[in-house]
Amino acid sequence: MYTSIKFTESLAVQGLSTSIGSVGDAYDNALAETIIGLFKTEVVNRHGPFRTTGEVECAVMKWADWYNNARLHSRLDYLTPAEFETEYYAQQTPRRPALV
């Protein structure tokens, strides 16, 4: 088993579920495979082939920055992920520290 019991328990406490499947099924890598597919479609197929490792590293960094900070996303009301996250945390009520 690759996922720790404590990690799974902490997700459950937060009301979250894992996207990790059981041994032998295809869910283990679903998110990674989706992101890799997007990268190949949006970068490699359009701007490749790359000649050096440096070119690949630069392309990955530019795309990751755009993907995480600048792309508009329909599921986020056409906000960027960074804008959506900022709005989300601005609406959260600050938590009081636990009493010791």
- Would residue 98 count as lying in a domain? no
With bands split at pLDDT 50, 70 and 90, how would you rate the model's confidence at 21? low
Does the predicted model carry a pTM greater than 0.85? Answer: no
Which structural domain range is residue 41 located in? 1-48
pLDDT at 88: 93
With bands split at pLDDT 50, 70 and 90, how would you rate the model's confidence at 28? low
**Among 14-18, 23-27, 80-84, which range has the highest average pLDDT?**
80-84
Look at residue 59 and tell me whether its pLDDT is greater than 60: yes
- Whether 33 and 43 map to the same domain: the answer is yes
Q: What is the 3-state secondary structure (H, E, C) of the chain?
A: CCCCHHHHHHHHHCCCCCCCCCCCCHHHHHHHHHHHHHHHHHHHHHHCCCCCHHHHHHHHHHHHHHHHHCCCEHHHCCECHHHHHHHHHHHCCCCCCCCC
- Would residue 99 count as lying in a domain? no
- Whether 55 and 43 map to the same domain: the answer is no
pLDDT at 1: 45
Look at residue 75 and tell me whether its pLDDT is greater than 50: yes
